[in-house]
Amino acid sequence: MQRVLTQINIENYPESLRPLLLGADIYDSRCASGAEVLFIDRGNGYFLKSMKRGELEAEAKMTKYFGSLGLGAKVLAFEQGERDYMLTERVHGEDCTHALYLSDPERLCDLYAELLYDLHHRDYTGCPVQNRIESYTALAFENYRTGNYDKDSFPDSFGYASANEAMAVIEKYGSSLKNDTLIHGDYCLPNVMLDNWKFSAFIDVGNGGVGDRHIDLFWGVWTLWYNLKTNRYEDRFLDAYGRGNFDPDMLRIVAAFEVFG
């Protein structure tokens, strides 16, 4: 996670947050388009994430829920104005793209799969998002309608020749996705925090909720390809998760959804 010392105008932030910002060293720690992420170097440290109004509401709810399970950061404040602001306590450690973890890809792959298996076997009572597949499906259809299609970001094994080909798969098999598992929703290496190889937290859980495990498995395969620059860990990851715990054909169905953003 990159952090760059930066200057901000605290008048641009909610009044309730300004005392925390005033006089502190502030670092730009953004890692996603459209989101500002600041690390506030005060006390044990804080992260302040902001996005357009309405775009952080679901993430704040899911972050609180993951925190209640001991799986995420503690949410200290959520403010809505012209933008959404979420303040969380610092999570110790570094994300899985840190050099320490990438330098031992076999160990990383195995741990990454084990953490996902554990998440998928959690009781999801009280989860604020009980039907993630509904919004997941709606987004795919909306992006198909507006021409938002991207197959270039995915390994060849998940590629589709056209938007129409991917949509045909969704229309035929999309109903096979189930709301029966607590999922992260964006299970990529930058969204898993480790502290010297020990699990610390899941972050960026705005796409999480009760959904289908194959969504996380798809992103698990994708991020190992993307961050390790090779497909060689796909089988190892799926073996470590447990071949009897998923349907491999579902990964290509999920891919049809994901090429629509």
Q: If DSSP states are collapsed to H, E and C, what string results for 29-61? A: CCCCCCCEEEEEECCCCEEEEEEECCCCHHHHH
Residues in the chain: 261
Q: CA–CA separation, 261 vs 256, rounded Å?
A: 10
Give the whole-angstrom CA distance, residue 236 versus residue 108. Answer: 11
What integer pLDDT is reported at residue 76 of this predicted model? 97
Same domain, 197 and 237: yes
Number of domains in the chain: 2
Type of residue numbered 35: A
Residues with a catalytic annotation lie at: 186
Please list the residues that pair with 210 across neighbouring strands. 182
Residues 75 and 98 in one domain: no
Task: Tell me which residue of 238, 205, 204, 208 sits closest to 220, measured CA to CA.
Answer: 238
Q: Is residue 101 domain-shared with residue 82, that is, in the same domain? A: no
Q: Are residues 19 and 99 in the same domain?
A: no
Which pair of structure tokens corresponds to residue 220? 């698990």
Residue-range definition of the domain harbouring residue 9: 4-89
CA dihedral 183, 188, 189, 190 (to 10 degrees): -100
CA–CA dist 87, 78 (Å, integer)? 6
Given this model, what pLDDT does residue 84 score?
96
The CATH number of the domain holding residue 253 is 3.90.1200.10
Please give the structure tokens belonging to residue 20.
Answer: 């925390």
- Pair 226, 251 in one domain: yes
* Bridge partners of residue 48, in order along the sequence: 38, 87
Task: State which amino acid sits at residue 246.
Answer: F
Q: Which of 261, 251, 33, 248 is nearest to 163 (CA)?
A: 261
Please list the pLDDT of the chain residue by residue as tens digits (261 residues).
Answer: 667 889 999 999 999 999 999 999 999 987 656 689 999 999 999 999 999 999 999 999 999 999 999 999 999 999 998 899 999 999 999 999 999 999 999 999 999 999 999 999 999 999 999 999 999 999 999 999 999 998 777 766 677 889 999 999 999 999 999 999 999 999 999 999 999 999 999 999 999 999 999 999 999 999 999 999 999 999 999 999 999 999 999 999 999 999 998
Provide DSSP, 243-254: GGGS-THHHHHH
Q: Are residues 166 and 218 in the same domain?
A: yes
Helix, strand, or coil here: 98? coil
Same domain, 158 and 237: yes
Domain shared by 82 and 105, yes or no: no
Q: Beta strand pairing status for 36-41 and 46-52? A: antiparallel
